[in-house]
Amino acid sequence: MKTYSKTQLEELAKEKFKQYPKADALYATSNGQFFLMENRAQLYAKGKNLSVVKIDNPGTASQDLPEGNAKDVIKAVESIEDPKTLEAWLKSEQDGDDRKTVKAAIEERINELNQ
C-alpha cells in the first residue's frame, strides 16, 4: 500500500479543495484517502493502521491579517484564493504596519485572482 507524507497530502488536497471550496478543512489518511469529516477519516484509518492529517483550506483563511515578519505574511498571501480576504488584509496592512512589500504582494495576488 502506498503511503504519503504530510507534504504530499497537502499537494493532493489542493485538487480536492477545488471540488469542495467551502470546506474549512479536509482530513487525509496516510494512504491518500480524503474525508470532509474527521470522525470518518479516523474510522477508516483505525482498521488499517493509518495516520490522519488535518489539512486546512487556504481559500477559507481567516479575515485577519496574519502576524509576523513581512516574509511570513507574504507567504500566507500566496496561499489565499479569496480576493475579499486579500482586500481585507490590504486594508489591515495599510492601517497597521503599512509595509510596501506586503502591500505589493497582496495587490499582485488580487490581480492574479481577478484575471
Residues 6+ apart with CB under 8 A from 53: 6, 9, 27, 28, 29, 30
Give pTM, 2 decimals: 0.56
15 shares its domain with 47? yes
39 shares its domain with 84? no
Overall domain count for the chain = 2
Last residue of a domain, one of 22, 38, 60: 60
53 shares its domain with 80? no
Tell me which of 35 and 68 has the higher pLDDT.
35
51 shares its domain with 93? no
pLDDT, one tens digit per residue, over 7-21 is: 999 999 999 988 988
Q: What angle do CA 66, 51, 62 make, to 5 degrees?
A: 15
Q: Which range marks the domain in which residue 21 is found? A: 6-60
Residue 1 maps to a domain: no
Last residue of a domain, one of 60, 85, 105: 60
Q: What is the pLDDT of residue 88?
A: 87
Rounded-to-integer distance, Cα 22 and Cα 59, Å: 8
Residue 51 has pLDDT above 70, yes or no: yes
**Residue 19, SS3 per DSSP:** helix
74 shares its domain with 53? no
Residue 99 maps to a domain: yes
pLDDT, one tens digit per residue, over 59-115 is: 765 667 888 899 999 998 998 888 888 998 999 999 999 999 999 999 999 999 988
Residue 65 maps to a domain: no
50 shares its domain with 11? yes
10 shares its domain with 56? yes
